[in-house]
Structure 1
Amino acid sequence: MTIRYTLKLAHINDTHSHFDPSRVQFLLTEQQKQYEVYGHSGGYARIGYHVEHARKQAKASRQSFLFLHGGDSFQGTLYFNQFKGVANADLLRRLSPDAMVLGNHEVDAGNGPVKDFLDAIDFPLLAGNMDLSQEEANKEAPLRNHPRLFDYAHQEKIAKTLLKPLGNTQMAIMGITLDQMKLIARPDDDTLFANAIDTTRNTVNALHRQGIKHIIVLSHLGWDMDKQLAASVDGISLIVGGHSHTLQGDFASLGINALPYGERINNTPILHAGKYAETLGLCNIEFNAQGEVTALDGSNYFMLDKHLIIESEEQINPEVYQQLWQQLDDHPHVLWDEQDDEIHRVIQQQYRPAITALEHQVLGFIPRNLVHTRLPSKALPHGSEIAPWVCKSIYHETKRLNTELDFALHNAGGVRQSLNKGPVTMADVLGRLLPFALPLVQYRIQGKFLYQTIESAINSATNNSISGTGAGSFPYTYGLRYCYDGRRPIGERILTLEVLRIQHEQKLWYPVSLDSYYYGVSSNYTASGKEGYHPLLEAQWQHPLEELTLPNAFIRFMERQQGLNGLLTPQVEYTSHLWP
């Protein structure tokens, strides 16, 4: 007799404080015409309703049920800026996940906010390769031995695992997060991260020795690393992931490119659910007695408003509107706006009023759309159009402190979104453009280390000769311009590097001398050497600017200038090693 085990799974990841429904766009075709269709999808109240519905379905069918979060609940919107994780813990607790894995943005401000989060939630936080064996005794915010934290068992070199019933057997869930955490986040100095693949392999082997074959890895490694993990470690039943904002599912008829849901590597299905609580992953899974997934049926699902916005050069008649609406209603992976009324009430009454006030506070106007892209491209050869304005704001607001300054330097990942033409509100800046309240740091550094910094950061952003940490490390500047050619040998890719001097109201550019010293300003994230910026640690000195953070420098500049006016001369010249 063949033994089969069934599981109904719900999953989300990278929700980033998007408690309200998020704006989404579809490209629909009707009568050989294409229409841009906009709606709002997801949010915690809708997710809460559909997860509870799935939970009841599983109970009625006598299935096991799991609801998992793939990490990065923190940051992202004004809700986090205003409530610093309190709302995240409260609303996640109301969603009742079975487990969440630690994401990198949970440790943007060190271990303290993680401790606060753990104290406020009532579900397990999995961080199976987070090594707290060196944690200092009597520290203010200790994580070691916290009852809701499943961290690294240092002596055994395995992840502490969560066990859940699956029919007449047990299923193990381990959480594996980025082992490069110190390069992209700010965990405390006494917190280490063991190798993700080695920890997973050791843990799988240990579970097999205990007779446990049904093993889920709840991962915050990203799509590419999840594939590498599946290929490297035999015996993983399923990977439920996050970090890369990867959407899976068949949405081609909606004009959305996505990867196949449950794509298998080494016979291990991998599941991701996009970003920002826009979609919810729901599936039915069947396992054999050896822990292998023998069937997986499901997808990610949009949870849409019933009211749509349709853009077209022609007037939309009611018949076309109804046909487009019907296309969405007929799509197998579209749900609608049923919601958990209690979660909705808490958001609207307890948290929303503070956000609404900021949405009505206008800082200034911008005359055209400013597009943000992390890397330059053929369409945007100088890269982001908004990141240089952020750098200019940092530069000018630092100069106003009567401090000596030559340039501003900032990483692309610290800027999150484009800005559209028209009024810019406090909510746009704090909630979307610059949601990370990073302090600014001034430093004095020798020219040779500036050459090294720019090249190293770009190499890291593009994986040029090194294994980087993502495109977010690409450098944008004001008062410092450079030309990078990725086709040249490492160490010779910065063809020119110049610093701006203003003499008699005239702007002049001079080559950066290897031996001379220059004054710069960056966020403390960048100045601490993250993501390829380690040459900045060679600065002669670094001084924090207590009165300035990244977003408030931009806000002050916007208010002073009443917007972003004029044109910025490009300060980035870039040739990719991948371009012919």
Structure 2
Amino acid sequence: MQTSAYYLQLAHINDCHSNFDPVALSLSVDHHGSQIRVACHSGGYGRIATILEQARDKAKRDNQAFLFLHGGDTFQGTLYFNEFKGRANAKLLNMLRPDAMVLGNHEIDSGNAPLHRFVEAIDFPMLAGNMDLSGEDPTKAFPLARLPNLYYLDPSTGCARVIKHPLGDRELAIVGITLDQMSVIARPDPDTHFANTLETCKRTVKALKAEGIDHILVLSHLGLDGDRKLAASVDGISLIVGGHSHTLMGDFAELGLPAVPWGECVNGTAILHAGKYAETLGLADIGFNEKGLVTALNGGNYLMLDEHLVIDGGDEMTRNAIIARLKAHPNILWPAQHPDVQQVIDTEFRPAIRALDHQVLAMVPRELVHTRLPSKALPHGSEVAPWVSRAMYEESRILDGAVQFALHNAGGVRQSLSRGQITLADVLGRLLPFELPLVKYAIEGQYLFEALESAINSATNNSVVGTGAGSFPYTFGLKYHYDGRRPMGERVLSLTVAQNNIWVPVKRQQVYVGVSSAYTASGKEGYDALACCHWQESIDGLTLPGAFIRFIQRHGEIADELAPQLSYVSHLG
């Protein structure tokens, strides 16, 4: 490996989704052949602030450049966002002092106005290098093009506007690139468009090279697969710091967490992601040569735990052994919460939502795992999304008995359910944070076949172009069998609907009445065929989280097991 001439100390987060408090984690640690469960909390802005302060001090002592970057999606996710609509996000991020953030799709979930208010309130650059505002109406109430710290597409060159930081005797350019399918997965204003990510990046990198800038960092919100494609397609990118796919890089297998290689390299470009929900912080010491190539990469993603661990079973000796294992783990830190940041959370924002944390709705007898896609461990996919679909179905039928099925996308459910009490705060702030109206619609069976196949193909990228795993469909009252190895148009092998407790085949020319969220019913994320319905109608007073709340309040618990509503074979076999 060549000798590094230029050094950068980097900290990064992504997809925090308003998780300012530490997030509950369930770890699994092997002890003499037995898996011991450890309940704990990781991360939160208070702990991140402490580590950032230490990292900045270290960089100053080492006389090295330091950057703290955010990979997008600070909006949504918890009651903090429901209550404060981005105001808490702006204030607390200003306290963490990012050098830049890239636009995530959830920042523009509700149109441009909330994004405008947020960008106006933050003290750091928001990068959206492929956001095309050339057609924006300058007389509208919340125009984005007037915001000086929003770095969007330069229409005269087709290049991203970039920021530059000193790096030794050179400059490091930071390019922000976000999803170009934003109109499909979010709700930007109609006059806001997004240029192709690869073409924008190619032009921007070429222009930077022509300026003599070889050290180029892309801050992206494309997901890991998107970043791999970007690195493979565009030569000359030194480093990609990404988000969107919630990928926790690093070997956490001995804790019962994923094991994805940290610092993956594609076409000479290193790629870094730092998980989700502010559970982890990425820290890296990076060396570059004079041509911008990464020649040294050390660091990882780090859990940030406190001392309050709940260890299932075992005697004191076992518990001490587990604690010693955790203390020795190279990717676990034990920081105190930063007093200034924690005081703002505790005094300005938490009081407004504390009461909701104490309003118990029901009991969950065992952990229910939410995963977007089926896997070997969970061949029928999420254990939570089918319950959400059942709640949509039952609560809609109480209001209109004509409803025959519910159809919901995986991304509308945000986390697993722990064993024990589920509170109003759990539902509104963590499980179903999107206050989406429910919509009923009448649709012919042929379009249900099309919608299911298209949504799954989009989720798995089986149709080459996809929007991410969040589009995977979960149902209730509608059962399907999908085989991704079959030709397009033939992948839904069977589709049945429940009638009088009997599963009967869906007839392609027959009309059925379903219920979905307004987001899915609008044809987002591969659900285009739902727009071919005979009619759509909002269900007055019933939202996605509202239906689930009513459902679990009526039942008092989630006790019985749901029969699988889907059978899935991946195109990978």
Q: 1:323 and 1:481, CA in 2 relative to 1: closer, same or farther beyond 3 A?
A: closer
Q: 1:374 and 1:279, CA in 2 relative to 1: closer, same or farther beyond 3 A?
A: closer
RMSD: 2.3
Q: Name the counterpart of 1:557.
A: 551
Q: Name the counterpart of 1:390.
A: 388
Give the conservation status (yes or no) of the 8 Å contact 1:447–1:513: yes
Q: 1:346 and 1:374, CA in 2 relative to 1: closer, same or farther beyond 3 A?
A: same
Q: Are 1:188 and 2:173 matched, yes or no?
A: no
SS at match of 2:18: coil
Trace 1:305-344 onto structure 2 (pairs within 5 A).
305-312=306-313, 314-317=314-317, 320-344=318-342
SS at match of 2:299: strand
Trace 1:9-408 onto structure 2 (pairs within 5 A).
9-29=10-30, 35-251=36-252, 254-312=255-313, 314-317=314-317, 320-402=318-400, 404-408=402-406
- Partners of 2:17 and 2:284 lie apart in 1 by 23
Moved more, 221-230 or 29-38: 29-38
Question: For 1:345-397, what per-residue CA distance to the aligned partner results, in whole angstroms no more than 9, with x for missing partners?
Answer: 11111222233211111112344443333333455444333322212221232
- Partners of 1:528 and 1:193 lie apart in 2 by 20
Report the CA distance between 1:567 and its aligned residue.
4.8
Report the CA distance between 1:255 and its aligned residue.
5.0
Q: 1:217 and 1:382, CA in 2 relative to 1: closer, same or farther beyond 3 A?
A: closer
Moved more, 192-201 or 405-414: 405-414
SS at match of 2:399: coil
Give the conservation status (yes or no) of the 8 Å contact 2:80–2:349: yes
- Partners of 2:170 and 2:250 lie apart in 1 by 30
Q: 1:139 and 1:400, CA in 2 relative to 1: closer, same or farther beyond 3 A?
A: farther
Q: Name the counterpart of 2:442.
A: 444
Q: 1:531 and 1:120, CA in 2 relative to 1: closer, same or farther beyond 3 A?
A: same
- Pick the aligned partner of 1:572 from 560, 566, 570: 566
Moved more, 231-240 or 347-356: 347-356
Report the CA distance between 1:403 and its aligned residue.
6.9
- Partners of 1:81 and 1:191 lie apart in 2 by 25
The letter for the 1-side match of 2:20 is F
Give the conservation status (yes or no) of the 8 Å contact 1:263–1:269: yes
Question: For 1:425-450, what per-residue CA distance to the aligned partner results, in whole angstroms no more than 9, with x for missing partners?
Answer: 11221122212111222222222212
Question: For 1:18-72, what per-residue CA distance to the aligned partner results, in whole angstroms no more than 9, with x for missing partners?
Answer: 1111233444455666533343221101111111111122122221111100111
- Give the TM-score, by structure 1 length: 0.92
Give the conservation status (yes or no) of the 8 Å contact 1:368–1:421: yes
Equivalent pairs: percent with the same residue?
Answer: 59
- Give the TM-score, by structure 2 length: 0.93
Give the conservation status (yes or no) of the 8 Å contact 1:262–1:296: yes
- Partners of 2:255 and 2:561 lie apart in 1 by 37
Moved more, 336-345 or 464-473: 464-473
The letter for the 2-side match of 1:58 is A
Q: Name the counterpart of 1:524.
A: 518
Q: 1:534 and 1:59, CA in 2 relative to 1: closer, same or farther beyond 3 A?
A: same
Q: Which runs of 5+ in 1 are unaligned?
A: none
Question: For 1:178-216, what per-residue CA distance to the aligned partner results, in whole angstroms no more than 9, with x for missing partners?
Answer: 112222222222211111111111101111111222211
Give the conservation status (yes or no) of the 8 Å contact 2:4–2:287: no
Q: Which runs of 5+ in 2 are unaligned?
A: none
- Partners of 1:285 and 1:258 lie apart in 2 by 22
- Partners of 2:434 and 2:538 lie apart in 1 by 16
The count of corresponding residues between Structure 1 and Structure 2 is 571
Give the conservation status (yes or no) of the 8 Å contact 1:306–1:337: no
Give the conservation status (yes or no) of the 8 Å contact 2:4–2:295: no
